């Protein structure tokens, strides 16, 4: 793909390959910072293995799964399945970013490091879910097979800048989803595990957010257009999970992830860091993208307020029924 900017010379023609080279120094800087602050941790230390027991199968003493065997709440159960199935598609995610960013130099080191860190998340979550009997193991495996068999194809694979912008928001969205799932799970063990995962996801967000800032310094018009496109068309990587729309609706009501959370806790923190609405010196297309982004955010806030009102009314009805 070839993209053009009025910056860095006149004219300056950017390709993804040129952008990769231009951002290499920023990638190396962020990689070194990440390696200094990231802490290794052991997935098995977060799983209550002593609570586990056999499922039916090869073991004569296997006990069939029942919903009441776990203390995890219903919304916690739903969110845990969505979050784990999202993590399960790691091979597809690795393929996407390795193809886009390459396997050499600082980019390649980051790709492999990120993949290794993300691998822990699926390991610890599955071990927790099976050991604590929080979900039906047969249904979980069928969902995993269906989801992974479909693979994953990024909406933003056509453009490096769009991909960087997407992961900057997506990593924070994943952090928030994990953290809120822990809060709503009803199990302190689950909450601690997801807090540990959320810490990793936050560091991944910082890496990509800072890289996005560096991209603004290189090609502000193009980066502004990429941010606008990603924000307007954003969807989570797990959207292909069987029954995702229903699960997402239940997670929204359960305050794990909804429009208000998406706007206030995901979009706005990244956009404020970048001072997105204060960037000046943009060309015609950059200013247009900036204006359109502002209009979209205003509309999203209106929609989030409507959702807030509906959620508050629902809570009031439930409280009234409970007291009656």
- In this prediction, residue 12 carries a pLDDT of 56
**Over the stretch 129-152, which tens digit does the pLDDT of each residue have?**
999 999 999 999 999 999 888 878
Strands (E), the chain: 2-5, 12-15
The Cα–Cα gap between 153 and 92 comes to 8
Hey, what CATH topology would domain 29-44+69-323 get? Ribonucleotide Reductase, subunit A (1.10.620)
- In this prediction, residue 7 carries a pLDDT of 41
Nearest to 190, CA basis, from 178, 173, 204, 176: 178
- In this prediction, residue 4 carries a pLDDT of 33
- Annotated binding-site residue numbers: 87, 118, 121, 171, 201, 204
Are 300 and 259 in contact by the 8 Å Cβ rule? The answer is yes
C-alpha to C-alpha distances, 276 to 20, 122, 176, 212, 267, nearest whole angstrom:
22, 34, 21, 11, 11
First CA to last CA distance, the chain: 63
- Annotated binding-site residue numbers for Fe cation: 87, 118, 121, 171, 201, 204
- Which of 2-16, 192-206, 301-315 has the lowest average pLDDT? 2-16
Most confident of 9-23, 68-82, 143-157, 306-320: 68-82
For the chain, how many residues are written? 324
* Percent of the chain residues topping a pLDDT of 90: 76
- Which of 56-70, 120-134, 294-308 has the lowest average pLDDT? 56-70
What single string gives the DSSP state of each residue in 78-119? HHHHHHHHHHHTHHHHHHHHHHHH-SSHHHHHHHHHHHHHHH
Task: Assess whether pLDDT exceeds 80 at residue 265.
Answer: yes
């Amino acid at each position: 793909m070839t993209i053009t900017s009025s910056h860095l010379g006149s004219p300056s023609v950017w390709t993804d390959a040129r952008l990769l080279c231009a951002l290499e120094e920023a990638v190396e800087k962020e990689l070194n910072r990440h390696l200094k602050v990231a802490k290794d941790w052991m997935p098995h230390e977060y799983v209550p293995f002593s609570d586990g027991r056999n499922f039916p199968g090869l073991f004569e003493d296997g006990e069939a799964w029942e919903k009441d065997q776990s203390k995890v709440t219903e919304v916690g159960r739903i969110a845990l399945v969505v979050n784990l199935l999202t993590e399960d598609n790691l091979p597809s995610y690795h393929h996407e970013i390795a193809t886009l960013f390459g396997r050499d130099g600082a980019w390649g080191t980051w790709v492999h490091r990120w993949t290794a860190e993300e691998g822990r998340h699926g390991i610890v979550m599955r071990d927790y879910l099976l050991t604590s009997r929080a979900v039906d193991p047969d249904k979980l495996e069928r969902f995993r097979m269906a989801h992974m068999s479909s693979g994953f194809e990024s909406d933003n694979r056509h453009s490096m800048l769009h991909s960087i912008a997407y992961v900057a928001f997506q990593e924070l969205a994943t952090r928030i989803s994990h953290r809120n799932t822990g809060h709503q799970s009803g199990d302190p063990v689950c909450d601690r595990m997801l807090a540990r995962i959320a810490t990793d996801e936050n560091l991944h967000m910082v890496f990509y957010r800072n890289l996005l800032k560096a991209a603004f310094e290189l090609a502000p018009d193009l980066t502004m257009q990429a941010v606008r496109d990603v924000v307007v068309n954003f969807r989570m990587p797990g959207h292909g999970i069987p029954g995702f729309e229903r699960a997402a609706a239940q997670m929204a009501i359960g305050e794990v992830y909804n429009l208000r959370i998406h706007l206030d806790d995901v979009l706005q923190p990244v956009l404020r860091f970048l001072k997105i609405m204060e960037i000046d010196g943009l060309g015609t297309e950059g200013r247009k993208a900036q204006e359109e982004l502002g209009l979209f955010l205003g509309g999203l806030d209106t929609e989030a307020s409507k959702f807030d009102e509906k959620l508050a009314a629902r809570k009031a009805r439930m409280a009234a029924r409970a007291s009656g």
